[in-house]
Structures are given as C-alpha cells and as structure tokens.
A = this chain, B = another copy of it.
Amino acid sequence: MVRAGLAALAITLAAPAAPETAWADTLVDNVQGQTIGADGHVERFKALLMDDAGVVKALFHEGEKTPKKGFQYRIDGKGRIMLPGLIDAHAHVMGTGFAALTLDLSETTSLADALEKIAAYAKAHPDRPWLIGGGWNQERWKLGRFPTAAELDAVVSDRPVWLERADGHANWGNSAALKAGGVTAATPAPSGGEIIRLADGSPAGVLVDNAKALVQSHVPPPTARDNDAAFALAQREFYRRGLTAVADMGTSMADWQTFRRAGDANTLYVRIMAYGAGIENTVAIGGPGPSPWLYADRLRLNGVKLYMDGALGSRGAWLKAPYHDRPDTRGLPNLTQTQLGNLMSRAAMDNFQIAVHAIGDEANAVLLGAMEDLAQTYKGDRRWRIEHAQVIDPADWPIAERVAKSVGLIASMQPVHQTSDRLMAEARLGPERLAGAYAWASAKAHGAVLAFGSDTPVELPDPWTGFAAAISRIDADGQPPLGWQPQERVGRETALAGYTADAAYAGFAEKRFGRLAPGLRADFIFVDTDPMTASPEAIRKTRVFETWVGGGKVWDADKPEGGAAGAEPVKK
C-alpha cells in the first residue's frame, strides 16, 4: 500500500484546481474487496481508485480514508463482494464460440420440444445458410424410432438442417441437407455406414456412422463472419461468468485474425493470451517472436501449443505402464522425443513460451526430461507450461522441481476435470497410480505455479465449478463426500491465485492484470458469494452481477441481453 499515499497526493493536487482535467479518475467504493496481493496472500480492501485509462491507481483498506473528492465518477459497490476478474488459463476460444453458436438439443425432452427449439433457432438466424447442431437422443424423447427429414422439413425447409446425435454416431438432416449431400433412394450406404430408409427406399433423414460423411462433406466451412459471430459469443460465455482473460490453447491464423478484427473494431472485451497451434501457426502469427501486447493488453501471442499425447478417456494418454482396463496398451505419444525437442527448441530460440499438452505419466516424464535438457541451452525466465499435467509419476517430481527452479514451470490444470473424470480415471489407471493424478497440491509443493482453467468447450468455462472442485475434490453431487484423494486439494488462497494472479503470471501478464493493485488494469467483478468463506456448493452457484475489463463494464446481470454491446464506459 506504498502507493496509496502517492495516489492520495495526486488527488489532493488535482482536486480543487482542475475540475476540467482530461483524465478523470473513478472511485469504486462500498465494496467487500479482495484480491491476491503483491505478497501472494489475500488482500482485503473497501474501495478502489482507477484512472480514465482503466488502470488502478490505489486501493483503500479498512482504516484508511477513502477520498471524498478529486475524482470525477463514483461507482457504489452496494456492499457487494468485489474480486479481480478471473482468468481461464486453458481455453479453446473459438471452439467455445462455435459450441455456443450452434444449436444444442441436449436438454430437449421430446421430438416436439426439439422441433420447437429448431424452429426458434432458424428464426433467430435467418442469414445462416446451414443450421448445425446436435445433442438429440430419440431414446430420451421416448420416440421408439429415429426422427425423420419430413419432421424437420415441417419446421425448416428453406435451407439444410444437420444435427448430430448425442453420441456422435448419427446425424439427422432435413430434405435440403439430404439433397445437398446427393442422398437419394439410389444412394448405396457406404461401408461402415447406414442410411435409414423409408418403406419406399428413400432416405428417411438419419445417416449413421460412415454415411454421415455423405452430407457432412458439403457443410460449408465457417466464414469470417461465422468466426466473428462465434467469437462474440465466446466472449459472452467468458465475461458473463466473471472471466476477464483467457489463454487460448491452439490459436490458428484464422483465429488470430478474428481476434485482431475484434481488437481493430473495439469489440475485444476479454483479454486473450494466445498460444499458436503448433510451430507453423505460431511463426505465421508472431513472426520473429511473441507479439507485443496489443489493444491495451487485450491480446498477445505468447507462444506455442504442442501436443505430447492424447486423452485418458480414449486411452490416447501415454502411460508408463499399461492401462488398468486394457492391459494391451499404454497409449501412444503424438511426437517422438526428438521431434518434441526440436519443436521446443525452435520455439525457445525465438522466445516463444512453450505450452505442451501432456496427460499420461510417460508423456509428462518425457516432457519434463525434454524441458530439463532444453533448460541447459535456453536459460532465464521461461515459464514452460505443462497443459493438464494430469498424471505424474511421483518419482518425476524431482525433475519438475529442477525445471521449476531453473526456468520456471507452470502446471496448467483444470480442477473440474478431476470431478468429471474421477470414475473413468480410476478405471483407466487402477488404484496404484491415483496418487499422481490431478495432483494439484503436489505440483505446487514441487515448485510449479498452478494456473487453473476449464479446457472449454470440453467443460463449461465456469471458474466457480472449478474453484469449488479445487478446494474440495468433491463433485456437484457431493461425491465422494470426503473428497477424492483429498490430500491434493488446494487452499482457497491458492485457488483464487490459480484463477487470477498465477494464471496471469503463467502468461507473462502479471505486470498488466490478474490482481487489483496500482498500475494494473482495473479488471474486476461483483459477485454474491465470498469464495474465501462460502461452501463449495455455494461457490458453484456464484452469481456474477457485473464484469468490468480495463475500467469498462462488459457484463451486467440485470441486463443480460445487453452483453458487451450494452457495456457502459466508466462514465455514469
């Protein structure tokens, strides 16, 4: 709080003499504020002063005087809880947007319900040439048969409708979709596929497995306008949940151009720390190195995203020993050790930060080994990231410790994966390997900085669910009641840091945002629940009243349709 005095001095000087000052300050007071402080611990405050550029000038703490004048605007926090904007350290931004852009039928309870939703969606999107979506399940509808093209035609006949079944093994199309795919009574089913047919042999509307491609191959790829629409929706998915920054894990050139278009048009609300999808995209986007921070710290290409292995569910994760539930395989690496080393070296030589997906214990061991090797050549503050770091052999913690000490190590982990994956992980790994699974506390104890995220759209981009999981290892159904491998829980302070200060640090952004402190961007939220004291169940249900990025409001729960379009500047 060294700088609070300075800020107060500035106010005193500026206050009476310069009502016309161009750089008007704003006071946010009457709040129960908390942020990670400069010392890494929670700091509580009652008011915050920011300048017209949306940068924090001072925090005011209990017992300190809140200024009465010298600022032009005042925001009454109404006694609410105020936190720094949260950060999702592992997101797929455009994937999140496209998931939000397409039609989700997973909650429909009957064919009539689904048709009603489809009709409404078609009406809401008159310009979209194809209507795409999924999540339907005729079993859930208790239909006793597949739905038909004719039923779809009755609600949308002017353009193709193409909807994936919940399990991904079948698609339901209307007549326009079947026509686009050239599917007629004369079309033979391809090997490994089936065309559901009416009595007269004409296609009924559902194509199974390999037959899906007959239509799928005609679905137009997303246009730049689709990308822009998806990105706008993705941002909304983030800021309405209190996220003001995300790391985008696998940015393509088209994704980057979408972000830049938003930046150029002043519609980039959520800060993006981008990691290029592979070296080629990274170099195409960044050129000789990471981009500068653009658009007042709203966009930067930080580095590269690589994949060491696959996922646990599909047994693509690369394990040291065979899968417990399929002893004939231990998964497979995506890269040889040499390839990994070459790619990491290529990135490191140009100061691109390295973020590598590693799930299995063998993948993590090989990656840590490569990091330790590389740290001989590329020194300094590198902050190499393991994305997921899902299963670590405890024998490998010493390597992690050495990497952490030499160049810095980030464990970019997704607490909600633990609760979602629990039963699957137990089946895949068996009892012996669980000690190193989703081992947040161990990772931290061995020197890694924990950066928390969601892996959206694989999971919802909901930091509150993640926060609750992080401190409890208990899922939304209360299972298991004492927490799964509870020794790997983290404290509330660590969880808050993982979603704020440390997630910013993981993206080299700690001098720009992630905490509320003088000199940092004024990214903050008002919420109804105190994550430092509330139960995990209550935290999961946290209501975000308002989200502010760089001193501008981008979300107001009282005007949910306004979204960022209804964002008010600081002035009020």
Contacts and interface: CB of A to CB of B under 8 A. Distances in A.
B253 A288 contact: no
Interface string A283-327: 111111001101000000000000000000000000000000000
A251 to B, nearest CB: 14
B228 A257 contact: no
A382 to B, nearest CB: 21
Given A264-B292, A264-B294, A291-B264, A284 B254 contact: yes
B227 A287 contact: yes
A544 B294 CA distance: 35
Interface string A235-258: 000000000000000000110011
A287 B257 contact: yes
A565 interface: no
Given A264-B294, A265-B292, A294-B264, A284 B253 contact: yes
How many copies are assembled? 2
Contacts of A199: none
A554 B264 CA distance: 25
B264 A287 contact: no
A261 B284 contact: no
Contacts of A22: 22
A223 interface: yes
A225 interface: yes
Interface of A: 22, 223-225, 227-228, 253-254, 257-258, 260-261, 264-265, 283-288, 291-292, 294
Q: Which 10 A-B residue pairs are closest in the complex by CB-CB distance?
A: A224-B287, A224-B288, A225-B288, A264-B292, A261-B287, A257-B287, A264-B294, A224-B283, A228-B288, A264-B291
A394 to B, nearest CB: 42
Contacts of A284: 253-254, 257
A287 B265 contact: no
Contacts of A261: 287-288, 291
Contacts of A223: 288
Nearest to A265: B292
A253 B283 CA distance: 12
A80 to B, nearest CB: 37
Residue among A223, A254, A287 with max Cβ neighbours from chain B (10 Å): A287
Given A225-B288, A264-B294, 10 more contacts: A223-B288, A224-B287, A227-B287, A228-B287, A228-B288, A257-B284, A257-B285, A257-B287, A264-B292, A265-B292
A280 to B, nearest CB: 12
Nearest to A258: B287
A261 B294 CA distance: 11
Contact of A253 (B253, B260, B264, B265): B253
A406 to B, nearest CB: 28
A171 B287 CA distance: 30
A257 B287 CA distance: 8
